[in-house]
Amino acid sequence: MEENDFKKNLYSLLSREELRRLEKAARDKNKKKLAEWAKQFEDQIMFQYESRFKDELCEFIDILILTVVYTLHFNESTKFGGKRIDSFMNDLLETIDMFRRNEANPEDYREALKKDKIIVKGKK
Protein backbone atom coordinates (compact mmCIF):
# COMPACT_ATOMS: atom_id res chain seq x y z
CA MET A 1 0.00 0.00 0.00
CA GLU A 2 1.38 3.40 -0.94
CA GLU A 3 1.86 6.06 1.69
CA ASN A 4 -0.90 8.26 0.18
CA ASP A 5 -3.37 5.35 0.25
CA PHE A 6 -2.43 4.67 3.84
CA LYS A 7 -3.01 8.31 4.79
CA LYS A 8 -6.38 8.36 2.98
CA ASN A 9 -7.47 5.31 4.98
CA LEU A 10 -6.30 6.94 8.20
CA TYR A 11 -8.13 10.17 7.35
CA SER A 12 -11.34 8.20 6.91
CA LEU A 13 -10.92 6.60 10.37
CA LEU A 14 -9.48 9.49 12.39
CA SER A 15 -10.35 13.06 13.03
CA ARG A 16 -7.81 15.64 11.94
CA GLU A 17 -6.86 16.29 15.57
CA GLU A 18 -6.32 12.57 16.29
CA LEU A 19 -4.16 12.21 13.20
CA ARG A 20 -2.02 15.21 14.23
CA ARG A 21 -1.53 13.72 17.71
CA LEU A 22 -0.49 10.43 16.17
CA GLU A 23 1.93 12.04 13.71
CA LYS A 24 3.49 14.17 16.49
CA ALA A 25 3.93 11.14 18.77
CA ALA A 26 5.51 9.21 15.87
CA ARG A 27 7.88 12.09 14.99
CA ASP A 28 8.90 12.48 18.64
CA LYS A 29 9.22 8.69 18.98
CA ASN A 30 7.17 8.98 22.15
CA LYS A 31 6.34 5.35 22.87
CA LYS A 32 4.10 6.18 25.82
CA LYS A 33 1.94 8.55 23.73
CA LEU A 34 1.85 6.04 20.85
CA ALA A 35 0.73 3.28 23.23
CA GLU A 36 -1.94 5.55 24.74
CA TRP A 37 -3.16 6.47 21.27
CA ALA A 38 -3.21 2.82 20.16
CA LYS A 39 -5.26 1.82 23.23
CA GLN A 40 -7.69 4.69 22.70
CA PHE A 41 -8.01 3.81 18.99
CA GLU A 42 -8.57 0.14 19.82
CA ASP A 43 -11.29 1.08 22.33
CA GLN A 44 -12.93 3.31 19.75
CA ILE A 45 -12.93 0.55 17.12
CA MET A 46 -14.29 -2.00 19.61
CA PHE A 47 -17.09 0.38 20.62
CA GLN A 48 -18.05 0.93 16.98
CA TYR A 49 -17.87 -2.81 16.25
CA GLU A 50 -19.99 -3.74 19.28
CA SER A 51 -22.51 -1.03 18.50
CA ARG A 52 -22.82 -2.15 14.88
CA PHE A 53 -23.04 -5.81 15.94
CA LYS A 54 -25.88 -5.02 18.36
CA ASP A 55 -27.73 -3.07 15.66
CA GLU A 56 -27.38 -5.93 13.17
CA LEU A 57 -28.43 -8.49 15.79
CA CYS A 58 -31.55 -6.47 16.64
CA GLU A 59 -32.37 -6.15 12.96
CA PHE A 60 -31.96 -9.92 12.49
CA ILE A 61 -34.19 -10.65 15.50
CA ASP A 62 -36.86 -8.29 14.17
CA ILE A 63 -36.76 -10.06 10.78
CA LEU A 64 -36.91 -13.47 12.44
CA ILE A 65 -39.92 -12.49 14.57
CA LEU A 66 -41.69 -10.99 11.55
CA THR A 67 -41.01 -14.18 9.56
CA VAL A 68 -42.35 -16.42 12.35
CA VAL A 69 -45.52 -14.36 12.79
CA TYR A 70 -46.13 -14.12 9.05
CA THR A 71 -45.63 -17.88 8.61
CA LEU A 72 -47.89 -18.76 11.55
CA HIS A 73 -50.64 -16.58 10.13
CA PHE A 74 -50.44 -17.39 6.42
CA ASN A 75 -49.21 -21.01 6.40
CA GLU A 76 -51.96 -23.44 5.32
CA SER A 77 -51.11 -25.79 8.21
CA THR A 78 -51.31 -23.21 11.00
CA LYS A 79 -53.48 -20.21 10.02
CA PHE A 80 -53.00 -18.60 13.47
CA GLY A 81 -55.19 -15.62 14.23
CA GLY A 82 -54.19 -12.57 16.25
CA LYS A 83 -54.95 -14.04 19.70
CA ARG A 84 -53.06 -17.29 19.04
CA ILE A 85 -50.12 -15.37 17.57
CA ASP A 86 -49.97 -13.09 20.63
CA SER A 87 -50.04 -16.07 22.99
CA PHE A 88 -47.44 -17.96 20.96
CA MET A 89 -45.11 -14.96 20.68
CA ASN A 90 -45.37 -14.26 24.42
CA ASP A 91 -44.34 -17.87 25.10
CA LEU A 92 -41.56 -17.71 22.52
CA LEU A 93 -40.09 -14.45 23.82
CA GLU A 94 -40.33 -15.62 27.44
CA THR A 95 -38.45 -18.82 26.54
CA ILE A 96 -35.75 -16.76 24.82
CA ASP A 97 -35.45 -14.59 27.94
CA MET A 98 -35.16 -17.74 30.07
CA PHE A 99 -32.25 -18.88 27.89
CA ARG A 100 -30.61 -15.47 28.22
CA ARG A 101 -31.01 -15.52 32.02
CA ASN A 102 -29.65 -19.11 32.11
CA GLU A 103 -32.90 -20.32 33.65
CA ALA A 104 -33.30 -22.84 30.82
CA ASN A 105 -30.84 -24.76 28.69
CA PRO A 106 -31.34 -24.91 24.90
CA GLU A 107 -29.81 -28.42 24.87
CA ASP A 108 -32.58 -29.67 27.18
CA TYR A 109 -35.16 -28.28 24.75
CA ARG A 110 -33.34 -29.84 21.80
CA GLU A 111 -33.29 -33.23 23.58
CA ALA A 112 -37.01 -33.02 24.44
CA LEU A 113 -37.81 -32.37 20.80
CA LYS A 114 -35.47 -35.16 19.69
CA LYS A 115 -37.40 -37.64 21.90
CA ASP A 116 -40.50 -36.69 19.90
CA LYS A 117 -38.54 -37.26 16.68
CA ILE A 118 -38.31 -33.55 15.87
CA ILE A 119 -34.87 -32.45 14.73
CA VAL A 120 -34.16 -28.74 14.78
CA LYS A 121 -31.77 -27.73 12.04
CA GLY A 122 -30.01 -24.44 12.53
CA LYS A 123 -27.55 -22.53 10.40
CA LYS A 124 -24.54 -24.05 12.19
Q: Are residues 72 and 97 in the same domain?
A: no
Q: Which domain holds residue 59?
A: 1-79
End-to-end CA distance of the chain: 36
**From 18-22, 81-85, 89-93, 116-120, the region with the lowest mean pLDDT:** 18-22
Q: Are residues 74 and 85 in the same domain?
A: no
Q: Are residues 115 and 75 in the same domain?
A: no
Q: Which of 47, 64, 79 is the last residue of a domain?
A: 79
Judged against a pLDDT cut of 90, whether residue 1 lies above it is answered with: no
Q: Are residues 64 and 104 in the same domain?
A: no
Q: Are residues 1 and 61 in the same domain?
A: yes
Q: Are residues 3 and 62 in the same domain?
A: yes
Q: Are residues 55 and 107 in the same domain?
A: no
Phi, psi angles (nearest 5°) of residue 123: -80, -20
Share above pLDDT 70 across residues of the chain, in percent, rounded to a whole number = 89
More confident residue, 101 or 31: 101
Q: What is the pLDDT of residues 13-43, one digit of tens each?
A: 677 887 788 788 888 888 888 888 888 888 8
Which of 99, 117, 100, 89 shows the shortest CA–CA distance to 108? 99
More confident residue, 73 or 1: 73
